Amino acid sequence: MPERSMIEISRVTRSYGAFKALDETSLTIREGEFFSLLGPSGCGKTTLLRMIAGFDTPTSGSISVDGQPMDGIPANRRPTNMVFQSYAIFPHLNVEQNVCYGLKRLRLGADEEKRRVEEALSQVSLTGLGKRGATELSGGQRQRVALARALVMRPKVLLLDEPLSALDKKLREQMQVELRRLQQAVGITFILVTHDQYEALAMSDRIAVMFGGKIAQVASPKEIYQRPVNCQVADFLGGMNFVKAEIVEENGASMILDTPGFGRVKTDKPAAFVRNGKGATLGIRPERLRVLWDDTTDKYEVAGKVVDRHYFGEITHLVIEIPGFDKPLSVTETNNFGADDIPVGAPIRLAYDPDALVALAD
Partner 1 sequence: MTAPAEGIAALPVVRKQRNPVLQSEAARGLGLISPTFIYAVIFLVIPIVLVIANSFWTQNYLTIDRTFTLENYRIALTDPIYRDLLMRSLWISLLVSFFTVVLAYPIAFFISFHGGKHKGLWLFLITIPFWTSYLLRVMSWKVILGYNGVLNATLMGLGITNGPSDAFLYNTSAVVITLTHAWATFAVLPIFVSLEKIDRSLVEAATDLGDGPLRRFLRITLPLSAPGIISATLIVMIPTVGDFVTPRLVGGKDGVMIANAIQAQFGKGANWPLGAALSVTTMAVVTAMAASVVLVIRMAARRIR
The Cα 228–Cα 241 span in angstroms is 13
Buried b (16+ CB within 10 A) or exposed e, 218-254: bbebeebbbbbbbebbbebbeebbbbebebeeeeeee
Instruction: For residue 209, give the amino acid letter.
Output: V
Q: Tell me whether residue 82 or residue 208 sits nearer to partner 1 (CB atom).
A: 82
Interface pick for partner 1 out of 67, 72, 91, 345 (rule CB under 8 A): 91
Q: How far is residue 150 from each of residues 5, 145, 167, 322, measured CA to CA in Å?
A: 21, 9, 19, 54
Reference 238, options 282, 178, 284; nearest CA is: 284
Residue 81's alpha-carbon distances to 28, 208, 269, in angstroms, are 18, 20, 40
CB-wise, 86 or 254, nearer to partner 1?
A: 86
Q: Which of 60, 62, 86, 334 binds partner 1 (CB under 8 A)?
A: 86
81 binds partner 1 per the rule CB under 8 A = yes
Using DSSP, state whether 310 is helix, strand or coil. strand
**Binding mask of the shown chain, residues 56 to 75, with x at each position contacting partner 1 by CB under 8 A:** ------------------xx
Among 24, 73, 101, 266, binds partner 1 (CB under 8 A): 101
Q: Given candidates 37, 53, 167, 289, which one binds partner 1 under the rule CB under 8 A?
A: 53
Mind giving me the DSSP string for 174-230? HHHHHHHHHHHHH--EEEEEES-HHHHHHH-SEEEEEETTEEEEEE-HHHHHHS-SB
Q: Kindly give the pairing relationship between strand 206-211 and strand 34-38.
A: parallel
Q: How far apart are CA 76 and CA 52, in angstroms?
A: 12
x/- track of binding to partner 1 for residues 142-171 (CB under 8 A)? -------xx--x------------------
Q: Is 90 in the site for partner 1 (CB under 8 A)?
A: yes
Pick the piece of the chain touching partner 1 (CB under 8 A) from 78-86, 231-239, 323-331, 346-354. Answer: 78-86
> Among residues 1, 77, 131, 185, which is the contact residue for partner 1, using CB under 8 A?
77
The reply on whether position 120 binds partner 1 by CB under 8 A is no
Residue 198 within binding range of partner 1, rule CB under 8 A: no
Centroid of chain to Cα 94: 33
Least Å from the CB of residue 72 to partner 1: 15
Residue number, 84 or 242, with CB nearest to partner 1: 84
- Asked if residues 359 and 246 have their Cβ atoms less than 8 Å apart, the reply is no
| Least distance in angstroms from the C-beta of 82 to partner 1 | 5
From the CB of residue 107, how many other CB atoms can be counted at a distance below 10 Å?
8
Binding of partner 1 by 108 (CB under 8 A): no
Which region among 52-60, 217-225, 248-256, 275-283 touches partner 1 (by CB under 8 A)? Answer: 52-60
**Positions that interact with partner 1 (CB under 8 A):** 53-55, 74-77, 80-82, 84-86, 88, 90-93, 97, 101-102, 104-106, 149-150, 153
